[in-house]
Amino acid sequence: MNTPAAFLPFSRPDVSEATITEVGNVLRSGWLTSGPKVQAFEAALSTYLGGRIVRTFNSGTCTMEIALRIAGIGPGDEVITTPISWVATANVIIEVGATPVFADIDPITRNLDLDKLEAAITPRTKAIIPVYLSGLPMDMDRMYAIAKKYNLRVIEDAAQALGSRWNGKPIGSFGDFVSFSFQANKNLTTSEGGCLVVNNQEEARLAEKYRLQGVTRSGIDGIDVDVLGGKYNMTDIAATLGLGQLPQIDAIAEHRRSLAQHYFDCFGRDFENLSGAQLPVADMHNSNWHLFQIILPNTVLRADFMKQMLEQHNIGTGYHYSPIHLFTLYRERGFKPGMFPVAEHIGYQTVTLPMFNTLQKESVARVVTAVKSCLYL
């Protein structure tokens, strides 16, 4: 009797024993909230990103909202983004009182279609929130040229892109606002958390106010509040997790690139023609391969495929993401099926296959064999 293969999740966080020990030291120190570890993590992130100013937060969602607030985006303004992302990308636009505007995505890269983005710009457009799906950057040069042409702020939703590059430069080391997430399944995790890259000290000071109730302190007992802030600060516990992983971020990206290449090698050149499925763009230079996603053929129901992968092969899968504009909250704002057909097709047929820092090539081969079996190849 064959022993069933161990369950293989689509994602698994990786925290070293040395980092766990450091977390224990923080717990014993008596300083648990924002303190010296947060400052050290911000400094390390700044160094990694070429000296740019970085502030940390308790999520990669509030970072985008705060960037919008720093940019002065509010009621009457429009912000263009993609309909394929975690819903937070659009929710933050509503949160500041602005109007979300979607542009359809490119069927190959699955990022914003820049032709459609430019066509969506109106006199009310004040910002763009591009998303680098699976860690794959878009054409950064063209995107920023469009932003400059129309005098738009850019809030990069680089939640999945720490360790990704554009023309050899790390994402976040150039551009306007850049938001990263350190949520549990990211290449670098602080369990929950994120950071925002800003452009100058004035924006940094405003970000600090927004992350902690609008407070400014002076002297030993001076305090003032001049903006409406929230409670978004990162803890020293979370920062310690980040400090333990950041030195390995480029090595992590390289390992994931090797895993992605092995996926392509195992699927083979004829997989798309034989199966009707679509593999991702084989970018082994820019992407950090946060996710490896395939698009199922229209004849295959995603739920059936995912169930079969789990029940017959003991392999977990996921999907990232459902089309935002078809959620009830957005339908109530006038969005309808058929408005963004590429996003709708990809949103309903995409499956995320296992990809994580400790995944090994033999597991990749196992996944590919299972995928082919489920597609009757």
User: CA-CA distance, 290 to 223, in Å (whole number)?
Assistant: 42
Residue 289 CA to its chain's centroid (Å): 11
Neighbouring residues of 40: CB distance < 8 A, sequence distance ≥ 6: 239, 243
User: CA-CA distance, 195 to 57, in Å (whole number)?
Assistant: 6
Q: Is 148 a catalytic residue?
A: no
Q: Which of 37, 126, 186, 209 is catalytic?
A: 186
User: CA-CA distance, 79 to 307, in Å (whole number)?
Assistant: 37
Question: For tokens 């950064």, what's the residue?
Answer: 140
User: CA-CA distance, 234 to 183, in Å (whole number)?
Assistant: 12
Neighbouring residues of 110: CB distance < 8 A, sequence distance ≥ 6: 84, 133, 134, 136, 280, 293, 346, 350
Kind of pairing between the strands at 153-157 and 169-170: unpaired
Integer-rounded Cα Rg, in Å, for the chain is 21
Q: Using an 8 Å Cβ cutoff, are 69 and 96 in contact?
A: yes
Query: Catalytic positions, please?
Result: 186
